[in-house]
Amino acid sequence: MAALDLNAPQADLAQDAAALDAIWRDPPGIRGFLTTVDHKRIAARYLVTTLALLVIAGILALDMRLQLSQPGLERMGPQAYNEAFTLHGSTMLFLVSVPVMEAMAIWLVPLMLGQRNLAYPRLTAYSYWLYLGGVLMLWVPHALGITPDLGWFQYPPLSGPAYGPGHRVDIWAQMITFTEVAALAASVNVAVTILKMRPPGMTLARMPLFLWAMLVTSVMTVLALPAVMLATSLLIADRLVSTQFFSPGAGGDVLLFQHIFWFFGHPEVYIIFIPAVGFVSAIVETFTRRAVFGYTVQVLAIISVGLLAFGLWVHHMFAVGLPRLGASFYTAASMAIALPIGLQIFSWIATIASGRPRFDTPLLWVTGFIATFVIGGLSGVMTASAPLDLQLTDTYFVVAHLHYVLIGGALFPLFGALTYWFPKATGRIMSEGWGKIAFWLVFVGFNIGFFPMHLLGLMGMPRRIYTYPAEAGWGTLNLVATAGMLIASLGAAIIVANAVISLRWGRRAGVDPWGGATLEWSCASPPPPWNFAATPVVASLTPGWEPPPRAVMTGLSLENREVLVTSVGDAVPEHRQPSPGPSIWPLLTALATALLFVGSIFTPWAVVWGSIPVAAALIGWFWPRTRPEEAQAEAP
Amino acid sequence: MPGDTAGLEALRPRVVGDLSGLPRDVIGMRNLNSWGLVGFMLIEGMGFGLAAASVLYLASQGAGWPPGGVLPPDHLFGLIFTLGLLASEWPNRWLARRAHDHDLRAMRWGMVLMTLFGLALIGVRAFEFMHLNVHWAANAYGSVIWLLMVLHTTHLVTDVADTAVQAGWLFRRRIEEKQYSGAVDNCAYWDFVVVTWLPLYALIYWMPRLWGPA
């Protein structure tokens, strides 16, 4: 790395900024809206959509909680209840949890790398439009009264052609296809950006833990999501063209669906959780004023969680009748994953204990996360044991467990992260006072709401029932659970109000309101379309805490969009890559893809004829455009 | 809306290096687009792998592979296709080297040759489909054999279409620097189509012969 030479001639960065503005700014108005490839604008769309769905699916949960608050209520019938939990689960898993983490990565990864965009800007846009297609695929038919009703996993034979007539199952299956293609596109984008576009000096050993978390998550996504696409494609084929994958009468097997589905489904849990681990490390670092204790342990733990996550899917299937050895193996594997996660928890506690913690709202969410996630982890170790799981499966114990790990493990860190990065994205700080009130309401309400479900499960209350008789004796605990949910909902409403009000009237943030250690805190808030006027040079794990002057490099084009590509291991600058500008083709390609997906619900020929518009759109996308300097070079 | 830059001045950025001397167009694994290609190969490779695992899983259910009364696929067209596919690697690798060395003339005609080669292979593939000796709706064995064939054929057709479109672009009067790395990447994708076929060929044509009825 170049030594810092304070006498070197200094480029006029302010003048560069004016030139950059001309080439990186989106066209104005609707045209800019439809063609933008700015990772920040696309991430904002992704975030707004996912958070809106979080609220909507949360209201559905509240509706179900009200239904169960007393025995024998008839305000919802069994069909409405089935639809409610299917919509809630499918939305939360496929349309909220995974995409919201992708959204954070799309926004944050280039900023943390001191880059101007992701590796494949048009793919980012395509990813969002397809994701939006998935949202519409589930919710438009719901508005028309056609709602999937078989849970978020839709097992055959119930979802097969014999027992699942109509199009409810197909709608669910194609919603998956939309969202998974979107997530795959985002993941390849994020992984390549982290591997090949790190700033000079940011070797793998100096990479912020959030980037490690997103790298592992993205690779996991690439390896896990093809499984669910295969599962749903086989299901659609069974329903549409009478293949026999899941028909036992013709040599098929219903458990094949469960195996393929959970080969995706278990890594999925960690695809949601590992980004949250990244948020936690970033927040802990900033609010304790020290680098995270045990950096190497954290990195190795993230990688081993990523690997182990692929070896435990069968623990979702203990009740289907497995060979003894199989059950024992998956019990052991499921318990083993608690070790690396335990190491991470100890590292964070050590960081907080040995640092100078400042309990602002983001760190409060992290402490809430640690407490809640440890409880969820312990109930996870319990259900990992095959004999115990046989008793607990399909009871409210599992409902309690999964919400402790998903809300406590992923949403609490996400709320912390939203509070933490809100000033960077908007230029305003959210109210700390209201932030703390909201945290305590959500944290206390959540625990009142979900802890009793452990007991209800142990008492034998099954999942997915729309009501229960008074004699069962579950009424009181259910009422407590509903009350807890109402308290948490009040907290959630305060978070939304706080964000909306702060957007307009919040305190001005400046470049670095929290004293962050990573590179995103050294550009304007909100960052301009080109993010950084010059490429930062990194010399430590915490570049934001190095005293000024800050080393930067210049020389990327001021006439065309360009990004810096560096080597995988040591981030040595290798070449300058042209970066595509605004384009309508991602939207057109997504529309063509949507036509194919929707059509294939009705006829297999949609796959054949639908591929023609997709191919045409892709040809438009990749149509060679001569760069100005190439045209000049070859002009006579 | 201009961002809040309060505090930016205090960082006093110092220019320590100049990136303008770096090359703009590179070929191979230093190019970002090649990394994207690797990503998509991983995704599709997982798809192939899981489909192959489904074959083994269904076969292990004990109804025989193929189930009684069903003949394995005929050998002839599968063999022609496989040998033809392997032979296509020779012009394919040659084309990749010529593209790497910026030999535009060789690259143009190499892409045309590969398109024709691909079209011929698609023709043979059509005959393979006619000689699978099982319909996809007959039983799970038939379904999964068709699954492997359709998955691979999708990749075959996609790459031949890619090659044809790129070949067309190469015959313009002036071509961009990125066409060279694009051609190299296209050859790498053809390698993927060839390599993934080999285990699928074994599963489709040989496994039913070795496993046999229950």
pLDDT (0 to 100) of residue A14: 78
- Give the pLDDT confidence of A294-321 residue by residue, as tens digits: 999 999 999 999 999 999 898 999 988 8
Q: Which of B9, B11, B38, B56 to mutate to test the interface with A (most CBs of A within 10 A)?
A: B11
Partner-chain contact A196 B35, CB within 8 Å: yes
Mean pLDDT of A502-525: 96
| A74 CB within 8 Å of a chain B CB | no
Examine residue B158 and state whether it is found in any structural domain, yes or no.
yes
In this predicted structure, the answer to whether residue A5 has a pLDDT above a threshold of 60 is: no
CA distance A154 to A232: 9
Provide the 3-class DSSP secondary structure of residue B17: strand
User: Which amino acid, residue A611?
Assistant: S
pLDDT (0 to 100) of residue A2: 44
Q: Which residue of chain B is at minimal alpha-carbon distance from A614? A: B158
- Give the pLDDT confidence of A74-84 residue by residue, as tens digits: 999 999 999 99
CA distance B211 to B214: 9
Partner-chain contact A550 B178, CB within 8 Å: no
In this predicted structure, the answer to whether residue A138 has a pLDDT above a threshold of 90 is: yes
Q: Whole domain around residue A519: which residue ranges? A: 20-543+561-583
Examine residue A12 and state whether it is found in any structural domain, yes or no.
no
Question: Closest approach of chain B CAs to the CA of A473, in angstroms?
Answer: 44
Examine residue A610 and state whether it is found in any structural domain, yes or no.
no
Q: Are A124 and A186 in contact (CB under 8 A)?
A: yes
Partner-chain contact B14 A552, CB within 8 Å: yes
pLDDT (0 to 100) of residue A325: 87
CB-CB neighbours of B77 under 10 Å: 20
* A153 beta partners: none
CA distance A360 to A513: 12
Examine residue A570 and state whether it is found in any structural domain, yes or no.
yes
Examine residue A119 and state whether it is found in any structural domain, yes or no.
yes
Examine residue A303 and state whether it is found in any structural domain, yes or no.
yes
Partner-chain contact B13 A533, CB within 8 Å: yes
Q: Enumerate residues 6+ apart whose C-beta is below 8 A from A451.
A: A375, A400
**How many domains are there within chain A?**
1
Across the interface, which of B10, B54, B141 has its CB nearest the CB of A256?
Answer: B54
pLDDT (0 to 100) of residue A630: 65
| Cis ω before A9 (30° cut-off from 0) | no
Contacts of A617 in chain B (CB under 8 A): none
pLDDT (0 to 100) of residue A628: 64
Examine residue A226 and state whether it is found in any structural domain, yes or no.
yes
Examine residue B99 and state whether it is found in any structural domain, yes or no.
yes
Contacts of A241 in chain B (CB under 8 A): 136-137
Q: Are A407 and A372 in contact (CB under 8 A)?
A: yes
Examine residue B44 and state whether it is found in any structural domain, yes or no.
no
pLDDT (0 to 100) of residue A1: 41
pLDDT (0 to 100) of residue A321: 84
Across the interface, which of A119, A511, A576 has its CB nearest the CB of B22?
Answer: A576
| A250 CB within 8 Å of a chain B CB | yes
Residues in chain A: 636
Q: Are A595 and A137 in contact (CB under 8 A)?
A: no
CA distance A158 to A532: 54
Examine residue B145 and state whether it is found in any structural domain, yes or no.
yes
Q: Whole domain around residue B175: which residue ranges? A: 79-209
- Give the pLDDT confidence of A173-216 residue by residue, as tens digits: 999 999 999 999 999 999 999 999 999 999 999 999 999 999 99
Examine residue B192 and state whether it is found in any structural domain, yes or no.
yes
Examine residue A506 and state whether it is found in any structural domain, yes or no.
yes
CA distance A97 to A51: 10
Q: What are the start-end ranges of the H helices in A69-202?
A: 78-90, 98-112, 121-143, 168-196
Q: What is the dihedral of CA A282, A286, A287, A291, to 10 degrees?
A: 90
Question: Closest approach of chain A CAs to the CA of B46, in angstroms?
Answer: 6
Examine residue A565 and state whether it is found in any structural domain, yes or no.
yes
At B1, the pLDDT band (50, 70, 90 cuts) reads very low
Q: How far is CA A439 from CA A363, A442, A492, in A?
A: 11, 5, 9
- Give the pLDDT confidence of A553-602 residue by residue, as tens digits: 999 999 999 999 999 999 999 999 999 999 999 999 999 999 999 999 99
Examine residue B154 and state whether it is found in any structural domain, yes or no.
yes
**Which CATH number covers residue B125?**
1.20.120.80
**Which CATH number covers residue A346?**
1.20.210.10
Contacts of A189 in chain B (CB under 8 A): 36
- Give the pLDDT confidence of B116-139 residue by residue, as tens digits: 999 999 999 999 999 999 999 999
Question: Closest approach of chain A CAs to the CA of B82, in angstroms?
Answer: 25
* A428 beta partners: A508
At A274, the pLDDT band (50, 70, 90 cuts) reads very high
**How many domains are there within chain B?**
1
Q: Is the ipTM of this complex over 0.85?
A: yes
Contacts of A256 in chain B (CB under 8 A): 54, 57-58
- Give the pLDDT confidence of B56-108 residue by residue, as tens digits: 999 998 889 999 899 999 999 999 999 999 999 999 999 999 999 999 999 99
* A616 beta partners: none
Examine residue B24 and state whether it is found in any structural domain, yes or no.
no
Q: What are the start-end ranges of the H helices in chain B?
A: 32-59, 75-100, 104-130, 140-170, 178-201, 207-211
Q: Enumerate residues 6+ apart whose C-beta is below 8 A from A492.
A: A55, A58, A438, A442
Examine residue B56 and state whether it is found in any structural domain, yes or no.
no
